[in-house]
Structure 1
Amino acid sequence: MQNARTDRVDWVDYAKGICIIFVVMMHSVEGVERLAEAHGWMGTVVDFARPFRMPDFFLISGLFLSRVVDRRPDVFYDRRVIHFFYFYLIWLSIQFAVKAPGFVAEEGVQGTLLNYVAAIFYQPFGTLWFIWILPFFAMVVRYTRSVPPVIIFAVAAALEMSHLDFGVTKDNVLGWYAINEFGARFVYFFAGYWAAPLVFQLARKAFEKPVAALGYLAVWGVVNALLVFNGFDTTRYGEPFFQNFATLPVVSLLLGFAGAGAIIVVAVLCAKLADSLDLMKLLRFVGANSIVVYLSFFLPMGAARLVLLRSGVITDVGTISALVTIAAVVVPFAMWWVAKRIGFGFLYKRPEWAHVERKVTKEPRPVGLQPAE
């Protein structure tokens, strides 16, 4: 399962490829359905993936933290903090520039600038919140190393089950987004870091026993679907609200880990099939370069959505959502290719000046498993 030529763990790239596609799908489908004011068949897929989409992404992100968490400050901050904030600041600025006319029309120039500053410091923006919060997760782990891991995990699990909703109101559905998302997601990141040996053991078992792995996927798929698509009527902020069982405390935590395990199993099976099915290698390529998609998918997503909805050529909301998702995953690689050839490669790769790791005394990377950044 380890690529001998690159020292990368193949199944990790497959898992990241699956996760980034689900993330793009969610944004694409919700945007199309909101503008079309209709629900399509792709919305059902998004709902099914909701319990595990982000848990798996964060668990995978924590897998290789142990390689840098104890290193010198310049090494740690360069690879786990500055790396992500660099891309966040660049692409936050691009998103605000693209959306500036609409922002200014709604909030005015001053309001737009205040929102931009808030997005930098405490209210991560739109599609970029994932890379904004990752450095904070890494720093929390680094500065709590003296605390028994079981205590950190217990606290993180309690935060997830509490379903924090600071500042959330009927009109402001995000509330204090950074705090709420920290509570909801940190447990998975920490589990990836702390339980990495168990994760790799699961992957090894799935590789050795594919029939048993398929059995797990079948059971998990049925349970996940039953909990997602069934629930009860209640009220939220004084209005009727359908609460599905998958979002209940404890259930959401268990489903998150079960779904993360399922994605890992699927990724391992994809890696196992790669030698006989070249199409699988495309998924691995997407995963190995998932940051390219994550940073820039909003541009082709918005353009494809606008063209397809306004053209009227295709009327099925699910089909439009699927086409928008495909465009949002594929086009960023064309943007990356063009950027590298016209001198804008810094949009996707940090230049030397954006590094703080001391090159003169740079510690050599250990031989062995390499993180899929």
Structure 2
Amino acid sequence: MNKERIVWIDIAKGIGILLVVYGHALGGIMNTSGIGVHNSLTIPYNVIYGFHMPLFFFLAGMFVHNWASRPVKVALSQKFWSLVIPYFIWTVITGSVMALVRKYTNAGLGVKDILLSPIAPFSEYWFLYVLFIVFIIYYVMVRLVNDKALIAIALLLFLLRPVLYKYWIFDALSLNFLWFVLGAEFQQQTNLNRALKYNVKKLWLSLIVFLVVNISYLMVLKLNVYWIGSYYKILTVPAGLLVVIYISQLFERYITIKNVLSWLGGASMAIYVMHLIPVAGCRIVALKLIGYQNLISLSIIITFVALIACVSVYALIMNTVVGNVIFGKKLIKN
């Protein structure tokens, strides 16, 4: 894959990061003591969590072949600066803030969690932790087995998820490695790549499938059986991926939407690492200090406020040395 940016992928990342922030806004409200269960929150939350993080792994996989062809020192250095450094920087920043206000937060994370971060992913930064390990596994495995065998291994890991999900990072790794590998395969295979190309019929079909799959998924979740919900993601993830991919290509045709979402996609890493603090802060102020009661509008307000805060900080420091380091944009020469 060439180095030229592909607009629809940036748009897909933009949609993805909106779902991430909104999902965390919903989750934070639901986890606040005294709120209780509300379908207006749990339904969008469960639908979003059925596919939104695998989306990022799939898109990352589409670019992995060029990276995996580099010498080990160069490849590791790139991922060290783009994933490991931001992981630890933002673990310390966010963890320190949460430690100071832990009596107001839902998770109650503190200094102990920061110290354990090398072996236990800190909060939502599990994504950076797991993505780095996924890249390393792929780099090694692609030199040992062919593409078909790699897909088979990834599928086996997915099937083992209900057995080993409690151990270390296996829950996230076993789910997302599969979609990472499939993203790499889709990009390399012309016939598969062609399936991702937009047309109106594909969009409408994907929307219908997405609706049917998620109606069923919501019923499956009511069973509260982990292995059933886990295996059902073999349907919810591709259904979500295809909808986002086709919508992203549709949005390429509308200049304003394209510009906004593609910019957010380019800033998705920065928004991801920064958004936890404004999301939690806005929620605490609204629920515990003001006593705001309209939970649906509150989830939207929290999302909007967090995005504005993150975008503002990113715009100020995105081209500085500090910005390059803390947002994983430090350039590494080949």
Q: Which bracket does the TM-score occupy, shorter chain normalised?
A: 0.7 to 0.9
TM-score, length basis structure 1: 0.78
Write out per-residue CA displacement over residues 69-101 of structure 1, whole angstroms, 9 at most, x where no aligned residue.
011223211223332101111101101211223
2:215 corresponding residue in structure 1: 226
Match 2:148 to one of 150, 155, 163: 150
The alpha carbon displacement at 1:320 in A equals: 0.7
1:50 corresponding residue in structure 2: 49
1:279 corresponding residue in structure 2: 257
1:252 corresponding residue in structure 2: 233
Q: Secondary structure at the match of 1:37?
A: coil
2:69 corresponding residue in structure 1: 70
1:288 corresponding residue in structure 2: 266
The alpha carbon displacement at 1:102 in A equals: 5.4
The alpha carbon displacement at 1:245 in A equals: 10
Q: Which ranges in structure 2 are unaligned for 5 or more consecutive residues?
A: none
Write out per-residue CA displacement over residues 2-43 of structure 1, whole angstroms, 9 at most, x where no aligned residue.
99xx92100000111111111111111111122152326243
The alpha carbon displacement at 1:216 in A equals: 1.7
Take 1:304 and 1:105, find their aligned partners in 2: how far apart are those partners? 12
The alpha carbon displacement at 1:117 in A equals: 3.1
Aligned pair count reads: 326
1:183 corresponding residue in structure 2: 174
Take 1:20 and 1:323, find their aligned partners in 2: how far apart are those partners? 16
Tell me if structure 1 keeps the 8 A contact 2:104–2:284: no
- The structure with the largest alpha-carbon Rg is 1
Deviates further, 20-29 or 34-43: 34-43
- Residue 265 (1) aligns with residue 246 (2): yes
Tell me if structure 2 keeps the 8 A contact 1:85–1:132: yes
Relative distance call for 1:222 and 1:232 in structure 2 (3 A) is: closer
Deviates further, 23-32 or 93-102: 93-102
Relative distance call for 1:245 and 1:270 in structure 2 (3 A) is: farther
What are the residue-to-residue correspondences of 1:318-337 with 2, within 5 Å?
Answer: 318-337=296-315
Tell me if structure 2 keeps the 8 A contact 1:227–1:244: no
Relative distance call for 1:331 and 1:165 in structure 2 (3 A) is: farther
The alpha carbon displacement at 1:166 in A equals: 4.2
1:215 corresponding residue in structure 2: 204
2:188 corresponding residue in structure 1: 197
Match 1:119 to one of 92, 117, 122: 117
Relative distance call for 1:11 and 1:143 in structure 2 (3 A) is: same
Take 1:226 and 1:342, find their aligned partners in 2: how far apart are those partners? 46
Relative distance call for 1:89 and 1:165 in structure 2 (3 A) is: farther
Take 1:341 and 1:197, find their aligned partners in 2: how far apart are those partners? 33
Q: Which ranges in structure 1 are unaligned for 5 or more consecutive residues?
A: 169-175, 235-241, 363-373
Relative distance call for 1:164 and 1:203 in structure 2 (3 A) is: same
- Residue 302 (1) aligns with residue 313 (2): no
Tell me if structure 2 keeps the 8 A contact 1:123–1:177: yes
